[in-house]
Amino acid sequence: MSVSLDDASFSATLREMRALRDEFQRFLLEYRFGLQEVETKIAILRDEFQHMHDYNPIEHVTSRVKSPDSLTEKVSRKGIEPDFAAIRRHITDVAGIRVTVSFVADAYRLFDLLTAQDDISVRAVKDYIARPKANGYKSLHAIVEVPVFLSTGRVDVPVEVQFRTIAMDFWASLEHKIYYKYDRQVPAGLLASLKDAADTAAELDARMERLHHQVHGAAETPPAPPPRPLAV
């Protein structure tokens, strides 16, 4: 059976596409493993708090690795060269984990405990709790780097970790839905209402933390590590 040049060309193209797909999957797998490492560390902290202090500062944890479509869109939007080395250098939120905590103090406490571990390196911190965004968004963002040991050797993987309270998380979820609904062209009046809601959420956080200390007292809450300045 003879094979035409068109058939041979198609087969070669198909092999290239499969090779690229497999390389993309291997690339994302590193981030999935890095995410698992950080998730395990947070789960250990949560369980240790529960058993040793009878106190759980973590309400829930969510995580994700960007989908190929989402990553490709971000590479295009930011004008990054479409190769894996460039993506590693310029995109640090391929893997992300969100830790929703009970109180603002818990966000800083968990950040300190996680980043104090000797196999965690901190690449960047953006403290939107101390310095909220103009629209009212509050959260503590950290890009940490964790080693992953593969059959081919060690790979240091960046993972974005976000710490926020329940009130901050609820506000951010609502804000995201509104921006999506209006295709990011949100009317000025609605933006003002969102900012007011963010201020109200911050007041609620402060009141609930005061109530917590009044009911339980500082003795029942494990002490936070000594405060240290966060690089922004």
Please identify every residue annotated as catalytic. Answer: 160
- What would the two tokens of residue 111 be? 């950040």
What would you report as the CA-atom Rg of the chain, rounded to the nearest whole angstrom? 22
90's CB contacts (< 8 A; 6+ apart) are 78, 80
The answer to whether 66 touches 94, Cβ cutoff 8 Å, is yes
Cβ-in-10-Å burial (0-12, 13-18, 19+) of 5 comes to: exposed
Please name which of 105, 122, 99, 118 lies closest in space to residue 230, comparing C-alpha atoms: 122
How many degrees, rounded to 5, is the angle at CA 140 between CA 57 and CA 131? 125
